[in-house]
Structure 1
Amino acid sequence: MSDTWVDVPDGSHFPIHNLPYGVFSRPGERPRVGVAIGDFVLDLAGVSAAGLLDAPDRGGVRDWFACDALNAFMAAGPRAWRATRERLTELLTDSAYADRVRSHLTPRAEVTLHLPWRVADYVDFYSSQHHAENVGRIFRPDQQPLTPNWKHLPIGYHGRAGTVVCSGTPIVRPCGQRKAPGDPAPTFGPSRRLDIEAEVGFVVGVPSKLGEPVPVERFREHVFGVVLVNDWSARDIQAWEYVPLGPFLGKSFATSVSPWVVPLDALEAARITPPAQDPEPLPYLRGGEGLDLALEIRLNGTVVSRPPFAAMYWTPAQQLAHLTVNGASLRTGDLYASGTVSGPERSQRGSLLELAWNGAEPVKLEDGSTRVFLEDGDTVSISATAPGTGGVRIGFGEVVGTIEPARR
């Protein structure tokens, strides 16, 4: 791709090679769809109304963007996604359009960012072998770290779509039942073991029919783009409730996502061969590529981990295939997340549960304080970058949340 006529700072997460989609508003105006370019947001509703976006398919494109969610555009499918991306690239690289497009650029510092799409369903997986083994060693030290099914299928659970929130939304410490192993009976109160889970999420654009599985090779026909996810976890509530049916209130109180959806087409240079799988999975799970994403977790400004997404055992395409193999249908706006991203090194663990080894190895911050789990007032930021075309790196921005005291 050519350089853009927009002034993009060196090292920006949002060069011309990226062009992620989001929803923003200016003071006194209604939310609308935009694209991030450098330190600016391009107003797609305004560009469309000015006649600068061609309709790639049936009808016009204005209704896709003059609204408070990406769902209509995501449902339009890969042909529309590609055509729109190509046209936006043309508008932002050909200086002949600069005078007409410049008036539709607003500094990102002057806008409010919103949840970029209406979430239909939410599924969270458990696809990092390093994370699963760490958790197994912590909680089942006398047994094999992986459960017998782990290498045969992508394990997951259904979350709560209504508590998926945009980056920047305060996270209220949840209350619930807790029972430590030595306690004679459960007690009720605020979680004492509030944790993070650094994850990568995949946003479904094109739905599927009930009863028809989506095979691995059709992943790109349905998935629109990628976001960062922090699947906040109350480990004490989770530990008491999850047997025998799995996570519930320990997970459902909040899940934060980044405000920019990076389209799959921006991640072509990040496609990699995933780690070898042994034993070979069943035929419906064979195939799919990994993504070379580099995550970074900051706790109160201190970098505490840099998890590598390239190390994930189960791929996004395999997760989608397993999610639908029983005939469950996809809906526009579905979100499914990778599960905690952890690497083989201590500095690559994606949760405080692992980083502090369940409290045995406190994490030291730059201010001299330590953490084993989150305290009220703590701020967590997760960011990520990936190889982009032309030898540049592109980014996802960040997903941020600050812990507020419990309300009861």
Structure 2
Amino acid sequence: MTTCNRRSTVHPNDPSLRSFIPVDPSSDFPIQNLPYGVFSANGLAPRVGVAIGAYVLDLWALAQECRIDVVEPGVFAEPSLNAFMALGPDVWSKTRARISELLRHDNPELRDNTQLRDRALVPMTDARLHLPFQVAGYTDFYSSKEHATNVGVMFRGKDNALQPNWLHMPIGYNGRASTVVVSGTKVRRPRGQLKPPTADVPSFSPCKRLDFELEMGVVVGQPSQMGEMLTEAQAEAMIFGFVLLNDWSARDIQQWEYVPLGPFQAKAFATSIGPWVVTREALEPFRVHGPEQDPKPLPYLQQRNAQNYDLELDVALRAPGTSAEQTLCRTNFKYMYWSSVQQLMHHASSGCAMNVGDLLGSGTISGPGKDQRGSLLEISWNGTEPVELAGGIKRSFLEDGDSLVMRGWCQGDGYRVGFGAVEGTITPAE
């Protein structure tokens, strides 16, 4: 492929970098981030873009002009990131570096090309954001020790909070890729079999204990072969990036169905993800070691590198008839006991093939503090301690009309690498 651009030696994560596009220090999308998404605007079909400040950078428009010559332009004309992700980590890194170079304040190539700049920079307010990738498969894990302990204490007592296998492997289940939806999609209250302790037989009716689960989603960008295991380095290299994820949960449906095989319809009705995929490379400066694992994992799950991230998270609720959001919890991704890399290594350990576009949910992210619980099940302690919000609003579980908003970001020196938001509003069951 013909090379028609100069190349910079400045790393895209350099905290001193500035874009010619003004970016507020509180913005989630500085030049050090450059998350990928899929958008449509100006009557054109959905295509690949990158968030920068208050704009979406149209990669297809740039590639057509030979401004991004790392890949064929058609990759960015796709309505999903899958074709781009399939090209592998080397292409991911080179493409991000080239985009960073084009957006630098001291590079006139795009800055001074008024015609191209006007075509390639789309205001966020004019763009519609779509599901960023085609979800090949969806697996949800249960990897926060604090969350698992809280739930265990509620249902089994303090002395039997964690099941014997929990400290030895990441626990997960296979969910439904068909109902993974992008932020802003309304979520209909699910229906299912309910059997409260006082009933002799179950009934079929709308869920009465609807909940959120604050999670991060891992986006798998490279496949693995059926029958093969993954090393730590291989698993890490397969991760394209991360998204905010809300795994909506029907607690009363789950309570009746989960024995003996685990969650099914209680989780199958909707999983919301954010529109922006923040790359693993952009999160590199924020790596931290996770909690000490005791007992030591079996050899195939052991990791040498820091695989957790110092990533702040918060959840807010907007009740019907109100305009203000009210915070429900604040926590951090760094608390996860089992890392995303360990989840991926374990997933493939039986010989399970992983595909481009697979989505791995982290499981509910809770921290050690009471205000760091990542679900209403924990916050209201299974409904026994309703949350009291301003204006006389109380919540044990979600009500029709409630909007849930999750945000996440890593704080750098004078900038933040953020994910935007993932939002969903509950509509009544039919």
Settle same-fold status: TM greater than 0.5: yes
TM-score when normalising by structure 1: 0.97
Q: Please tell me whether residue 369 in structure 1 is matched to residue 381 in structure 2.
A: no
What is aligned with 1:248? 264
Q: Is the 8 A contact 1:267 1:387 kept in 2?
A: no
Q: Please tell me whether residue 335 in structure 1 is matched to residue 359 in structure 2.
A: yes
What is aligned with 1:190? 206
- With 279-288 and 245-254 compared, the bigger mean Cα shift is at 279-288
Inter-partner Cα distance in structure 1 for 2:201 and 2:275: 42
Inter-partner Cα distance in structure 2 for 1:16 and 1:362: 42
The amino acid of 1:127's aligned partner reads: S
Equivalent position SS for 2:160: coil
Structure 1 gap ranges (5+): none
Inter-partner Cα distance in structure 2 for 1:187 and 1:173: 16
Choose the corresponding residue for 1:25, options 23, 30, 40.
40
Q: Percent identity?
A: 52
Equivalent position SS for 2:352: coil
Equivalent position SS for 1:224: strand
What is aligned with 1:393? 416
Q: 1:259-306 CA distances to partner (integer Å, 9 max, x unpaired)?
A: 000000100111001110000000001015111111000011101100
Q: Is the 8 A contact 2:288 2:310 kept in 1?
A: yes
Choose the corresponding residue for 1:14, options 29, 33, 45.
29
Inter-partner Cα distance in structure 1 for 2:327 and 2:42: 33
What is aligned with 1:353? 377
Q: Please tell me whether residue 290 in structure 1 is matched to residue 308 in structure 2.
A: yes
Q: Please tell me whether residue 321 in structure 1 is matched to residue 345 in structure 2.
A: yes
Inter-partner Cα distance in structure 2 for 1:391 and 1:111: 27
Choose the corresponding residue for 1:47, options 44, 47, 62.
62
Structure 2 gap ranges (5+): 1-13, 319-324
Inter-partner Cα distance in structure 2 for 1:232 and 1:249: 11
Q: Please tell me whether residue 149 in structure 1 is matched to residue 165 in structure 2.
A: yes
TM-aligned CA deviation for residue 142 of structure 1 = 6.0
What is aligned with 2:108? 96
TM-aligned CA deviation for residue 90 of structure 1 = 0.4
Inter-partner Cα distance in structure 2 for 1:38 and 1:272: 27
Inter-partner Cα distance in structure 2 for 1:259 and 1:380: 15
Inter-partner Cα distance in structure 2 for 1:61 and 1:131: 45
Choose the corresponding residue for 1:214, options 226, 230, 235.
230
TM-aligned CA deviation for residue 141 of structure 1 = 1.9
The amino acid of 2:211's aligned partner reads: D
Q: 1:202-255 CA distances to partner (integer Å, 9 max, x unpaired)?
A: 001111111111222222321100000000000000110110000000000000
Equivalent position SS for 1:266: coil
What is aligned with 1:167? 183
Equivalent position SS for 1:72: helix
Inter-partner Cα distance in structure 2 for 1:90 and 1:149: 48
What is aligned with 1:267? 283
Root-mean-square deviation (CA), in Å?
Answer: 1.1
- With 356-365 and 194-203 compared, the bigger mean Cα shift is at 356-365
Q: How many residues align?
A: 402
The amino acid of 1:385's aligned partner reads: W
What is aligned with 2:51? 36
Choose the corresponding residue for 1:120, options 115, 119, 136.
136
Inter-partner Cα distance in structure 2 for 1:30 and 1:82: 26
TM-aligned CA deviation for residue 163 of structure 1 = 0.4
Inter-partner Cα distance in structure 2 for 1:275 and 1:293: 15
Q: Is the 8 A contact 1:23 1:116 kept in 2?
A: yes
Structure 1 residue ranges, 4+ long, deviating more than 3 angstroms after superposition: none
Q: Is the 8 A contact 2:25 2:414 kept in 1?
A: no
Q: 1:215 to 1:106 in 2, by over 3 A?
A: same
Q: Please tell me whether residue 83 in structure 1 is matched to residue 106 in structure 2.
A: no
The amino acid of 2:248's aligned partner reads: W
Equivalent position SS for 1:307: strand
Inter-partner Cα distance in structure 2 for 1:248 and 1:257: 19
Q: Please tell me whether residue 61 in structure 1 is matched to residue 72 in structure 2.
A: yes
TM-aligned CA deviation for residue 102 of structure 1 = 1.8
The amino acid of 1:326's aligned partner reads: S
What is aligned with 2:11? none
Q: Is the 8 A contact 1:269 1:387 kept in 2?
A: no
TM-aligned CA deviation for residue 48 of structure 1 = 0.5
